[in-house]
Structure 1
Amino acid sequence: MTNNDVLRLVRSALFIKENHIVKIFALANSNVSANQVAQWLNKDNDSNAKMSDSKLASFLNGLIIDKRGARDGEQPKPEAHLNNNMIFQKLRIALNLKTEDMLNILETVGIELTKYELGAYFRKPDNKHYKQCDDETLREFLFGVKLQSNPDATLED
């Protein structure tokens, strides 16, 4: 899954308007234009509109600030490289979800995990119990978030 796909899925799941996405980037001290956001959200975009890992990290950091407020002290710098586990963790923080909340969301989309299996996604990569989060799990989680907000939602909404 590309970073552009993740942005589109988060936008859809949380019902965020394009102009608010620009504001979310600004919260993380990252300036992007409305035109750039529109290009990233366009499903038919060309390779020139590919969103970088650091831009997606900035968006997710801004989303955390938007949903939970800025933390005291220096704000986190955007990571240069992201993986699905890091994205999953940032979404968990932004949405202030506990393990049970996440398990319930995943259960609504047909993914049944134990709390230990879920916890494996949030471990450090060098931990022997670490598990790589695949695209399907992340995609389904975001659809589950969307369903929690709007039970009549479809993937295309």
Structure 2
Amino acid sequence: MTNNDVLRGMRYALALSTAALAEIFSLSGQMVAQDKIVNLLKKDEEEGVVVCPDALMEDFLSGLIIHRRGRQEGTPTRPPQAAEPLTNNAILKKIRIALILQEDDMLAILRQAGNPVSKSELSALFRKAGHKNYKECGDQFLRNFLKGLALHYRKAEPC
């Protein structure tokens, strides 16, 4: 799943406008013009699509955390970039933090999307890589989670 797919999914699930996305990016210290955001949100086959790099996706997720939870005192405006590439597990973890989702909330969202998982399966996704019970978050799992978020936050029919 590409960063552009995640950005589109989050925008739809939380009903964010282009201006709101620009504001979220700015909270992490990254100024992104609205016309660039429009190009980031285009489908892969559309003309003028811009690929969302990991660093920009990290800025969005960090901005989303600040937008939803507020800025912690003593933290820098622009968070340090991670040395390793952004994984689906890291994306899932940042979304969980931003939306203040507890384990039961996440299980309900996944159940709503038609992808029920056990508590142990879910906790394995949030373990440190290399832990014996660590499980990599696949594209389909993340896609189902975003679908469940849309159903949960929009109270709409299945996407």
Q: Which TM-score applies when normalising by structure 1?
A: 0.92
Cα deviation for residue 150 of structure 1 reads 2.5
Amino acid aligned to 1:123: R
Percent identity of equivalent pairs? 41
* Residues paired across the two proteins, number: 155
Q: 2:66 & 2:25 partners in 1: Cα distance?
A: 10
Q: Which residue of 2 aligns with 1:36?
A: 36
Cα deviation for residue 45 of structure 1 reads 4.3
Q: 1:136 & 1:117 partners in 2: Cα distance?
A: 15
Q: 2:4 & 2:70 partners in 1: Cα distance?
A: 25
Cα deviation for residue 145 of structure 1 reads 1.0
Asked if 1:3 is matched to 2:7, the reply is no
Residues 51-130 of structure 1: pairs in structure 2 closer than 5 A: 51-75=52-76, 76-79=79-82, 81-130=85-134
Cα deviation for residue 77 of structure 1 reads 2.0
Amino acid aligned to 2:4: N
Contact 1:85-1:132 at 8 Å conserved across structures: yes
Aligned-residue CA RMSD (Å): 1.5
Contact 1:103-1:113 at 8 Å conserved across structures: yes
Cα deviation for residue 46 of structure 1 reads 5.5
Greater relative contact order: 1 or 2 (C-alpha under 8 angstroms, separation 6 or more)?
2
Contact 1:39-1:45 at 8 Å conserved across structures: no
Q: Which TM-score applies when normalising by structure 2?
A: 0.91
Instruction: Report the secondary structure of 1:29's partner residue.
Output: coil
Cα deviation for residue 143 of structure 1 reads 1.0
Contact 1:121-1:131 at 8 Å conserved across structures: yes
Which 10-residue stretch deviates more, 135-144 or 72-81?
A: 72-81
For structure 2, the 5+ residue unaligned runs are none
Name the CA shift for 1:98/1:49 in 2 (closer, same or farther; >3 Å). same
Q: 1:37 & 1:149 partners in 2: Cα distance?
A: 22
Q: 1:134 & 1:46 partners in 2: Cα distance?
A: 28
Cα deviation for residue 47 of structure 1 reads 8.1
Name the CA shift for 1:115/1:20 in 2 (closer, same or farther; >3 Å). same
Name the CA shift for 1:28/1:71 in 2 (closer, same or farther; >3 Å). same
Deviating beyond 3 angstroms after TM superposition, the runs of 4 or more aligned structure 1 residues are: 44-48
For structure 1, the 5+ residue unaligned runs are none
Amino acid aligned to 1:11: R
